[in-house]
Structure 1
């Protein structure tokens, strides 16, 4: 067997990836994750997006010291130079299957999914094209290229040395946050959270008992909103930092009390954190036919997460034009879609194996219990169909607050693909905004208002985000990165304005198509008249 310290060249690594190996660079060590990816608790998609890349920052941000200590057991070699990131196969990278095959007895992992034929890899969006608008596709490309050009001019250079410096400064920042004790969870805050949720649940029961169904529905909706924050903490292992304990808490809160799969959310959310705001890869901004937050979604994009094409069909062309007006109404019904996604996740075998094997059973039991107690026992106990429908709608519409909180920090931010050289920290700050609010109101936002801080330190307890913000601001001043922070009203206005601008691009595109069709018809009519005239003149002669 070859030594783990053997130096692998770029060509050797490319060849092994081409043969199906899942290779990731960590601290100059080449890790082969073929077998591990099948049982990775965070899902397989998150790993696929790191293939061929230096994932040191991402892996340190997402894992505790105990887990980090196990990484090098997957080492098959090392690199002896500064690594320049490759394009992962899931993002369109292509590598020939040549020499240096996997070791005997080890089957190559399947690297999937890949772009279908005819779809240009997202790195092509760096091209800045100019010229007159000749067709609808030019409308899309020109608008997107203006945004990409703005990002390239506004953010630090993408050259290797600049991004490497940002990465080094981020590592120093991470050590400062650890040294400040900010990874220690202030459990007293969960006592306060227990009081809030307990009070809301009590109001829900009291109002239900005295048949004030509207207020009872509002109370349970607000309770679900607050429970979401606990599930979010548990999903990131930010409560006890123990995998089994935090997942038990998370499933109990999310599945049993809220009817949503924690496992589905984690698989989805981990990808979102790694390829934030990429229209092709980030499922958190893939909401066609209802929303399009990037012009790159206005053209049948293949989603590498859902492994299907997101068609920009007739319905999408109508809805997206008015998406700024439909934003809040559609979010009112977002929870119903989460039910579908949760059941789909559990029933299609996407749940991780390994030490997480027990979660599938616990989650399935939890979803079943929720639908039994809420939709059968509670809703079934109401006297009339009018009461039942009203109760379901009101309780679910109230949770719209959570969907606004979640989308607010990303929908108006950059969706540009600046290439594989961009560092982890730079991408998170470019694609994420914070929302300012007074400290006493933090409970309402549940930490989600500090999304930029959270994206830099996913495992950090949310009650320490405000303290960590000061360190992040110093980091931004030192590196030249921007820190976007808006008030809640200003943030909402920014989102609506951005969605309105995308909607206008659709209208321009539709107008171009109509103009082209009209022009084509006019040319056809002129041609037919000339043919008829020529035929008439021929007969006369």
Structure 2
């Protein structure tokens, strides 16, 4: 006797790629996670990490990104957004925020068994709107390839020779082995936090702060400022861990830890940092999309910034202005001086974020904005009024104290940028696996174990990008497993010493400066030719 369930309609029907494309064309946010088709439009206003990371995953199999970023408790909630399922391996689409174009679905037009084509920015694509990455470099060319286009094509071609092919079999094998690596990391308990290590961190930071107060008390203001800057730098590491839920793995508890460190103690906004940082982890090093790479007019980390890029994060054009033309040729020399003032920019960005209410206003994080506003007021009360104004007698000493305490944090900003500025910034298309993309765009810094407290886990950025919720005290052990994974799948693992890593970054900035000089010369030549033609 047949089961009655055989006569009931399926709760989650199998959806074809054309049906899913049609849903996205209609403006819906569709993700694929564990073969499940999810429509997450209703979740976006509640997402603590902001809407941009979700937009960059529309039309993609986001299983890896979703798994490594979210706790097991959150992962269990996806079923409420499921509208269907897929069969076989999903071929990723280019998300609309990245320029992907989608056709409305017409059920009267057959979509199975036929190879359809469409036109995307003048180039033929297959039915999954994917572009060959080398051909994609030619999209904006007219009759002849421009200088910037040719540089992009050369860089993409070189990158493709250094990493595994982008075909489905190769990338599918990488994905399978990455999943196996994730299971091994879980089995070895590397997601479990070492709270004794954090107790030591707390003791160290308390000692540094006490030392700062001692030198402030005896009038050694410059020395006091040095210790205050070092104190802030050390605290950032714990705030970074908390922002990734790598301490307790509980969203509310880790958020409280991170916001308390960032706002009342550091004068910054963890919410602002998470808003940018989650996008950075999703589209690492892509000039048009990664806000951590967008530093014009001071720095151009890739030649594509010389061509007036549109930022999908800031939703505005990033023009290559006159100021940029003056500064970028010297950016290899300006790199360290600019980073000395990085903390002042963080204050500005934090207050813009908080005052404009750019964070989530619904869900678990609705109250974070107000907590951070109060925390930042407390910071400027104890630091700005209590220490700088009340404890330091003269205006000059106050100025020197503020500048030294902030400039001392420069190595921290170097550490943030070191792991990405010299790495690949090319978009190899949606077929590239998450694991390969993270290892291609991120560098690790080699250092002895006794120096780990200086780097704060940021020296393992490639490992961290693969597994963001692994506590930093376990990253060195995780590195050994990742090295085996890289050897097995043939992905290069970028590991440099701190000095050689800095040389690589400065050399990369100098190369972009050289390209800027060539571009400027081309523009002057074209201008002279135009004047000549006009004059005759």
> What TM-score comes out, normalization by structure 1 length?
0.90
Query: Partner of 1:417 in structure 2?
Result: 427
Which one of the candidate residues 462, 484, 487 is aligned to 1:452?
462
- Counterparts of 2:134 and 2:355 in 1: how far apart (Å)? 39
How far does residue 63 in structure 1 lie from its aligned partner after superposition? Answer: 1.2
Whether the 8 Å contact between 1:128 and 1:149 is mirrored in structure 2 is no
Structure 1 pair 135/489, CA: closer, same or farther in 2 (3 Å)?
Answer: farther
Whether the 8 Å contact between 2:137 and 2:152 is mirrored in structure 1 is no
How far does residue 377 in structure 1 lie from its aligned partner after superposition? Answer: 2.2
Query: Partner of 2:447 in structure 1?
Result: 437
Query: Partner of 1:58 in structure 2?
Result: 65
Whether the 8 Å contact between 1:91 and 1:122 is mirrored in structure 2 is no
- Counterparts of 2:504 and 2:520 in 1: how far apart (Å)? 25
Which one of the candidate residues 404, 407, 411 is aligned to 1:401?
411
Query: Partner of 1:487 in structure 2?
Result: 497
Query: Partner of 1:23 in structure 2?
Result: 30
Whether the 8 Å contact between 2:354 and 2:373 is mirrored in structure 1 is yes
- Does residue 1:139 correspond to 2:142, yes or no? no
- Does residue 1:371 correspond to 2:371, yes or no? no
Which one of the candidate residues 30, 35, 46 is aligned to 1:39?
46
How far does residue 431 in structure 1 lie from its aligned partner after superposition? Answer: 0.2
Q: Counterparts of 1:38-117 in structure 2 under 5 Å?
A: 38-98=45-105
Structure 1 pair 349/96, CA: closer, same or farther in 2 (3 Å)?
Answer: farther
Whether the 8 Å contact between 2:21 and 2:105 is mirrored in structure 1 is no
- Counterparts of 2:137 and 2:319 in 1: how far apart (Å)? 25
Structure 1 unaligned segments of length 5 or more: list them.
Answer: 101-114, 528-541
How far does residue 97 in structure 1 lie from its aligned partner after superposition? Answer: 4.4
How far does residue 375 in structure 1 lie from its aligned partner after superposition? Answer: 1.5
What per-residue deviation string (whole Å, max 9, x for no partner) do you get for residues 71-116 of structure 1? 122110001232100111111112244568xxxxxxxxxxxxxx99
- Does residue 1:510 correspond to 2:514, yes or no? no
Greater shift, 370-379 or 45-54, is seen at: 370-379
Q: Counterparts of 1:133-532 in structure 2 under 5 Å?
A: 138-352=146-360, 353-381=362-390, 382-525=392-535, 527=536
Whether the 8 Å contact between 2:181 and 2:481 is mirrored in structure 1 is yes
What per-residue deviation string (whole Å, max 9, x for no partner) do you get for residues 335-354 of structure 1? 11111111111121222220
Q: Secondary structure at the match of 1:298?
A: helix
How far does residue 516 in structure 1 lie from its aligned partner after superposition? Answer: 2.2
Query: Partner of 2:5 in structure 1?
Result: none
- Counterparts of 1:383 and 1:122 in 2: how far apart (Å)? 64
- Counterparts of 1:13 and 1:515 in 2: how far apart (Å)? 49
- Does residue 1:7 correspond to 2:17, yes or no? no
Whether the 8 Å contact between 2:268 and 2:376 is mirrored in structure 1 is yes
- Counterparts of 2:137 and 2:29 in 1: how far apart (Å)? 35
Q: Secondary structure at the match of 2:267?
A: coil
- Counterparts of 2:86 and 2:205 in 1: how far apart (Å)? 51
Q: Secondary structure at the match of 1:409?
A: helix
Q: CA RMSD, aligned part only?
A: 2.2
Structure 1 pair 220/419, CA: closer, same or farther in 2 (3 Å)?
Answer: same
> What TM-score comes out, normalization by structure 2 length?
0.91
Structure 2 unaligned segments of length 5 or more: list them.
Answer: 1-7, 108-119, 122-128
- Counterparts of 2:358 and 2:82 in 1: how far apart (Å)? 27
Q: Secondary structure at the match of 1:388?
A: helix
